[in-house]
Structure 1
Amino acid sequence: MAKRRITMRNHSAEANLFARRTFIIFIGVLVLILVLFNNIYSLQVNSFEKYQTRSNSNRIKLLPVAPNRGLIYDRNGVILADNKPVYSLAVIPEQTDNLQENIDEISALLNISDDRKKSFFKSVKRKRRFKQIELHPRLSEQQVALFSVNQHKFPGVFVDARLKRYYPFGKLTTHNLGYVARINRKDANQLEIDGKSENYAATHGIGKLGIEKYYEDILHGTIGHQEVEVNSRGRVIRTLDYKPPTPGKDLTLTLDIELQMIAKRALAGKRGAVVAMDPRTGGILAMYSNPSYDGNLFVHGISTKNWNKIRNSKDLPLINRSVQGYPPASTVKPFLALTGLEEGVITPETRVWDPGWYQLKGLPNKYRDWKKWGHGWVDLNKAIEQSCNTYFFDLAFKLGITKISTMMERFGFGDYTGIDIHEESSAIMPSVAWKRARYNKSWYTGETLSVGIGQSYWTVTPLQLTQALTTLVNHGKRKVPHLLKSTKEPSRDPNVEEEVIYEEQAPLVLKNDEHWDLVLNAMHRTVQEIGATAHAPFKGAKYDASGKTGSAQVARIKQDEKYDAKTTKENQRDNAMFIAFAPYNAPEIVVSVAIENVAKGGGGTNAGPVARQIMDQYFGNREITSSYGSSTTDSDSIANHQHDHSPQQQKLSSDNAE
């Protein structure tokens, strides 16, 4: 019989083992508790500010508030750019019981298109239901009134009002003011590069052209903020704080809207530009390019139909002709005469025989004067009064292109004037170096003769002509043309304005100051003398005007061809040019006019009357006695006055350019 072994439990050893294990577990738990408390201490004490900030960022949101854009006024306080309330229809989906049914009813009530409805429901899928979504961006006053009467039927649907740019004068001011339009990707990228994107967080529009773009930083203002508390879903619970935005500054321009209206009326049915400036300050009184377009079309996003109509127009309304280049023609003859006097090539008594043409020795081609039979003996005064081409062919030949271009550059030709818009062209002041750089060709004497009557490669902008004429009447003092007169804070006294001070450019100093008066006197005679080229447009004027006409060749014709406007294509007809200033003894206004492709006549016939209308408006009923006395009253003999060189007689041979 086998023996059974019985194992006896050692309760004492087990108790000790249990105690050791319990102690180890206790120590482990204690360590974990200490770690936990250490983390709690770190979170609640050491990192309190850090996590409180992160908590608040989840709970508190800063909503940007866009500033009101500054207004723009003319020199007399007439508003040119306003902020007009625009009403849109918005919907908060979660507050509407039956969204589809309500939208259908509203669409039928307000005649909302199916395309807008589709766009709305796409937005509903992308956005949270407690956020407002735009159904119609621009309600008419009738639609606003109709919805207001029926609003009680549509919970969660409301009219949202905001300010949008509005230009009361439409086409009249577009080329000066430009316009405000939606911020596109290019604008957004540029704002990011310039470090200005934060200030545009709540802004939808930005200046695109003209004054609106040039002074964008002044007009825009500074963004404000609304501090709100939101729940975990992003819904606004309450407003905690509000920092109002700082509105942009209001601008007062040098423009006179009444002069602008006269310019538009005078250019009706024509392509061209008018620039009028105060020579005492450089302030632009009028600057109008015709045809124009309505900047309001771009504020809300221009339709494809309207855009194609503007873009495809043969009259090119998008071009600001007041800052684009034209051949100056005879309007630059006074400046060339001054150059001749200054270089000692001519004196006031220097006479040139004009048989109706000019010919270089050894060459068969003849450079024709506008008067077929010529002017006979011509001195400085008669050359400018009658716009004698032959005199200036001879003068240009004696001067040479280098002396001409050097002096003309001092008057600002071929360079930017510095006006406060970005769309300006520098135009072209040709020279030997310019032609070599542009065409890699030599300069020819025949081209110098063409430059002598404002042709060849030479182009000027009406604004450049105005600035150059200002320098002339100011005896060399150069003014910077500008549109901005003053600024003012909307929150301050409206009568308190900050005048903008413009520094003069380096003066044009002559060897003999008497030369200024010699040329200006010749321009004065051009208007005041019976039979002079600019006399007829200013017949009977109560102010003492001076000026110069010009007819610019557009298309080149051969030596034996005759120009006939009736048989010439419209875009190849001559341009009419005119410059003027008044009063003669103390000029208050200078005017430049350019009219494209005139059907007949020259600068005196077409552009001169436009300048007259501008000056008549400016001087009003003021009467300034002319030093010529009764010569301002025309006689019957002036009915057949000789306007600046007739187009068919002015043409140069294509061979002569060489």
Structure 2
Amino acid sequence: MTIGYRIRFYFLAIFLLAGISSILIRLFIVQIDRYEEFSSKVPGTSEVKVRIPGVRGIIRDRRGKVLVENIARYELQFNLKEILDNYYNLVSDENDLIKKNNRSLSVKEKLKEVPVTYFEFVDGGGIRRKRKENDMVSIVSESVLPYLARLGLYREFHSGDLQRHWRTHGGLVAYTYRDDLTFDEYALAAEHTLDLPGVSVVARPMRKYVYGALASHILGFVRQPDIKKVPAEERKEWDYYVPDDFGGDGVEETMDTLLRGRPGQRVMLKDEKGRIVDSKNELGQVLGEISYEEPKSGSDVWLTLDLRYQYIVENALRKVGRGAAVVLAPSTYELNNNGESHTVYAGDILAMASVPSYDPNKFIPSISEEDWNAYLKNENDPLINRALKDHAPGSTFKIPVALAGMLSGKEKQNFECAGGARYGPKVFMKCWALSKGYTHGNINAREAIKTSCNGFFYRYGNASGIDDILNVSRVMGLGEKTGIPLNNEDSGFIPNPDWKRAQGLGKWGDADTALVSIGQGATEATALQMAGVAATTSNGGFYYKPRLIHKTVDMD
């Protein structure tokens, strides 16, 4: 009996020794022999890079007058991570008090819990799942908004946007609760937000178009940031990408790359559990902030416009009600201004007006549905830049036709007005004078331009020939875009025999040339192109491509 007991004891001891030995051997393998392999799989701290948008450059006229600037936009922001941490502390303190009171109560009070919610998503396998997350809408509504209401700073907000912001950015990017604070509200909030952890006020740059609708079709406007417009490759450079405002029209759009500032960067520490270390010490310094790089300003863009000319031209057009006008420098000259001189180059656009216009300030930060619909329903199309839209140039086109006659020596010949011209048995093209009961008689090109005689130009154009008209038109920049940095510019069009044949309209005839000679039919040109014609005529026959950008200045 004793011997059997001892044998069982020995076996148990051997079994225990073998088990402990195997455990020790396994621990040796994991802790020492394969340490590097397993330690690399243990999550540690990491860095998170957050992109900070740059500051947009200024737009000026040729004399340096500011047309578009940045002013302070006062925002009330929530750091949702700090609000959540503070809420946890409040709940913990409240639960401690409940536990203390429950000791003397027969009916125990239920402990308070941090609100949670669920959202649905589709995983990589296409399966619909639910995920639990903190209900930040309830937490903010309970712990922050009542205090803001007492200060008179509460406004309705989109709860879905707030929850999505928390899900996407956590505490890395602040949630903008309001972006329309007045200065008085900003001062009030700045005075009291120390009482609210996670609530802060900031002054961010906001675009301001100094003269409202003046030159609006040239300046354009900016739109709110849109992450979808950022290339995927660019987004990969940051863990959290906060996009820039971007140009929506005009120079703001075409010069967007230069106007945008260089982004800054905030590098934060993420702990081994994947949480952002964004707590602050007694001095208000973010403990988990590894580095911070200030965003830089974009380049200033100087236009060839002269603010004085632009103002005069637009006011003159507003008295008419609708139209377009362009002032183009015909030649290069020096301009003196308060003792300072600078060069105005041939082709510089000194003014380009289109009326009616719109106020780009209404697009900042975003245009209201009411204002947008009003612009769209306005039958005068205030969003259209008429200076770049083609139309029948009419009698202004008689100038390049008159110059075309010089190529074949026709400029000194006289032609009859005759009240018009007949082309075939059924086509009689009138001169406007015939409706007044007279004709211009036998006149030359100078007199025909002075009286705008259609009858003369019917005959003169055919004597010159459509080929010479096309050649002069091409040299003067007609029938093609000028290439200035504005979108939606029309190219204009000068009809020709090849075009008519391709349209299946038959053979080109004298009546076609006659129509082109008075700028009618399918003939089209923009106000900017016709300003180029006027400039070329006035400077002795030299055509200069229009220029809108005077210079760009890098603010670095």
Question: Which category describes the TM-score, using the shorter chain as reference length?
Answer: 0.7 to 0.9
Q: In the alignment, residue 317 of structure 2 is paired with which amino acid?
A: L
C-alpha separation between the residues in 1 aligned to 2:450 and 2:552? Answer: 44
C-alpha separation between the residues in 1 aligned to 2:192 and 2:26? Answer: 70
Match of 1:354 among 417, 424, 431: 417
Match of 1:206 among 246, 250, 253: 246
C-alpha separation between the residues in 1 aligned to 2:36 and 2:22? Answer: 20
Closer/same/farther in 2, CA of residues 111 and 445 from structure 1, 3 Å limit: farther
How far is the alpha carbon of 1:212 from its aligned partner?
1.0
How far is the alpha carbon of 1:401 from its aligned partner?
3.3
How far is the alpha carbon of 1:454 from its aligned partner?
0.8
Q: In the alignment, residue 273 of structure 1 is paired with which amino acid?
A: A
Q: Secondary structure of 2:231's match? A: helix
Pair 1:368-2:408 in alignment:
no
How far is the alpha carbon of 1:277 from its aligned partner?
1.5
Closer/same/farther in 2, CA of residues 124 and 408 from structure 1, 3 Å limit: closer
Q: What runs of 5+ residues in structure 1 fail to find an aligned partner?
A: 1-5, 492-658
Give 2:221's aligned residue.
179
| Native 8 Å contact 1:71 1:251 kept in 2 | yes
Q: How does 1:16-31 map to 2 (within 5 A)?
A: 26=21, 30=25
Pair 1:337-2:402 in alignment:
yes
Pair 1:299-2:294 in alignment:
no
Which runs of 4 or more aligned residues in structure 1 lie more than 6 Å from their structure 2 counterparts after TM superposition? 14-25
C-alpha separation between the residues in 2 aligned to 1:156 and 1:28? Answer: 50
Q: Secondary structure of 2:74's match? A: strand
Q: How does 1:545-624 map to 2 (within 5 A)?
A: none
Q: Secondary structure of 1:467's match? A: helix
Match of 2:44 among 55, 76, 91: 55
Q: Secondary structure of 1:325's match? A: coil
Closer/same/farther in 2, CA of residues 439 and 151 from structure 1, 3 Å limit: farther
Give 2:305's aligned residue.
255
Closer/same/farther in 2, CA of residues 262 and 123 from structure 1, 3 Å limit: same
State which drifts further: 275-284 or 133-142: 133-142
How far is the alpha carbon of 1:182 from its aligned partner?
1.4
How far is the alpha carbon of 1:374 from its aligned partner?
1.2
Match of 2:157 among 92, 116, 125: 116
Q: In the alignment, residue 277 of structure 1 is paired with which amino acid?
A: L
- State the Cα deviation string for residues 212-249 of structure 1 (Å, max 9, x = none): 11111111122121222244432414222222333211
State which drifts further: 434-443 or 296-305: 434-443
Closer/same/farther in 2, CA of residues 347 and 260 from structure 1, 3 Å limit: closer
| Native 8 Å contact 2:50 2:172 kept in 1 | no
- State the Cα deviation string for residues 621-649 of structure 1 (Å, max 9, x = none): xxxxxxxxxxxxxxxxxxxxxxxxxxxxx
Q: In the alignment, residue 60 of structure 2 is paired with which amino acid?
A: Y
Give 2:28's aligned residue.
33
How far is the alpha carbon of 1:376 from its aligned partner?
1.5
Pair 1:221-2:245 in alignment:
no
How far is the alpha carbon of 1:181 from its aligned partner?
0.7
Pair 1:74-2:61 in alignment:
yes
Closer/same/farther in 2, CA of residues 303 and 21 from structure 1, 3 Å limit: closer
Q: In the alignment, residue 245 of structure 1 is paired with which amino acid?
A: P
Match of 1:430 among 495, 520, 541: 495
C-alpha separation between the residues in 2 aligned to 1:443 and 1:34? Answer: 95
Q: Secondary structure of 1:268's match? A: helix
Give 2:446's aligned residue.
381
Pair 1:289-2:362 in alignment:
no
Aligned residues: 471
Q: What runs of 5+ residues in structure 2 fail to find an aligned partner?
A: 91-139, 280-286, 333-344
How far is the alpha carbon of 1:33 from its aligned partner?
2.4
- State the Cα deviation string for residues 269-308 of structure 1 (Å, max 9, x = none): 4111111122332221111110000111112111110000
Greater relative CO, 1 or 2 (CA 8 Å, sep 6+): 2
| Native 8 Å contact 1:383 1:391 kept in 2 | yes
RMSD: 3.6
Give 1:646's aligned residue.
none
How far is the alpha carbon of 1:334 from its aligned partner?
1.8
Q: TM-score, normalised by structure 1?
A: 0.64
- State the Cα deviation string for residues 87-106 of structure 1 (Å, max 9, x = none): 12223434476843752453
Q: Secondary structure of 1:170's match? A: coil
| Native 8 Å contact 2:407 2:468 kept in 1 | no
- State the Cα deviation string for residues 242-276 of structure 1 (Å, max 9, x = none): 22333211111111111111111101141111111
C-alpha separation between the residues in 1 aligned to 2:528 and 2:233? Answer: 31
Identity level (%): 28
Q: Secondary structure of 1:171's match? A: coil
| Native 8 Å contact 2:268 2:276 kept in 1 | no
Q: Secondary structure of 2:301's match? A: strand
Give 2:455's aligned residue.
390
Q: Secondary structure of 1:116's match? A: coil
| Native 8 Å contact 1:183 1:206 kept in 2 | yes
C-alpha separation between the residues in 2 aligned to 1:16 and 1:230? Answer: 52
Match of 2:231 among 176, 192, 202: 192
| Native 8 Å contact 2:421 2:458 kept in 1 | yes
Q: Secondary structure of 2:318's match? A: coil
